[in-house]
Copies of this chain bind each other. A is one copy, B any other.
Amino acid sequence: MRNIRLILAYDGTRYRGWQRLAGADNTIQGKLEQTISRLLAEPVQVHGSGRTDAGVHALGQVANFHCQSAMPCPQILAGLGQYLPEDIGVLSCQEVHPRFHARLNALSKTYLYRVWNSTEPCVFQRRYVYRMPEALDTAAMEQAAAHLLGKHDFRAFSTGKSGKKSTLRTIYRLEIFREGPEVRFLVQGDGFLYNMVRIMVGTLLEAGLGRKQDIPEIFAAGRREAAGYTVPASGLFLQEVTYP
């Protein structure tokens, strides 16, 4: 069996997220499996580095699948370019070690969140940003962001059921920068709980609006209500996944 790794970009607007749903045609994973299976004339299962939610985009999602087919990678790339819908693009296609697994081997993920922080209209970017025209205090956001760095129990920054699984995660990098009318958040970590990036950004935006956000207190409380709101999916991009 060959093991093929794909790097993917997609516009999540019209999809119900990454994960295949029985009977639903509009998931990224489902669309990929359908298209690859048809191209290679054999059933394949695609493993993503993680799920992205409904409406979330990707600039560099990583996935892999096993196949018997001998079709060369450049031909798979061209075939997928031809048969996938225009809102899913394959940036690279390479044969990798048989034991490579996009989810299990991931070392870190980087997410980008785009806020349109201007009263100007954003006609051409409207599907890819969250519009918030109010003035944001960048210094206050950076101060709060510093407390999110490092290893913490991010239970309060998740809407997942708590269960028994660990909610400890490590944030390696959290940068906030202005680019023209946008404020962008770049977050790298060893993994993210359900809705974690969107709640982190919502909490930082509240700090930027002048509502005091005491991050250590939120960690200590460990309750979802202690943190800020969940920002919309439209501004969120899975930018990069790293591997050993």
Binding site for B on A (CB under 8 A): 9-11, 57, 78, 81, 86-91, 119-124, 126, 128
Contact = CB atoms under 8 A, between A and B. Distances in A.
* Chain A interface, >50% SS class: loop
14 contacts: A9-B121, A9-B123, A9-B124, A11-B124, A78-B119, A81-B121, A86-B121, A86-B126, A88-B121, A88-B123, A89-B121, A89-B122, A90-B121, A91-B120
A89 B120 contact: yes
Contacts of A123: 9-11, 86-89
A85 to B, nearest CB: 10
A88 B123 CA distance: 6
A119 B128 CA distance: 23
Contacts of A57: 124
Nearest to A84: B121
Given A88-B121, A89-B120, 9 more contacts: A9-B123, A9-B124, A10-B123, A78-B119, A86-B126, A87-B126, A88-B123, A91-B120, A124-B128
Contacts of A120: 89, 91
A11 B122 CA distance: 10
A89 B120 CA distance: 8
A127 to B, nearest CB: 8
A32 to B, nearest CB: 13
Nearest to A89: B121
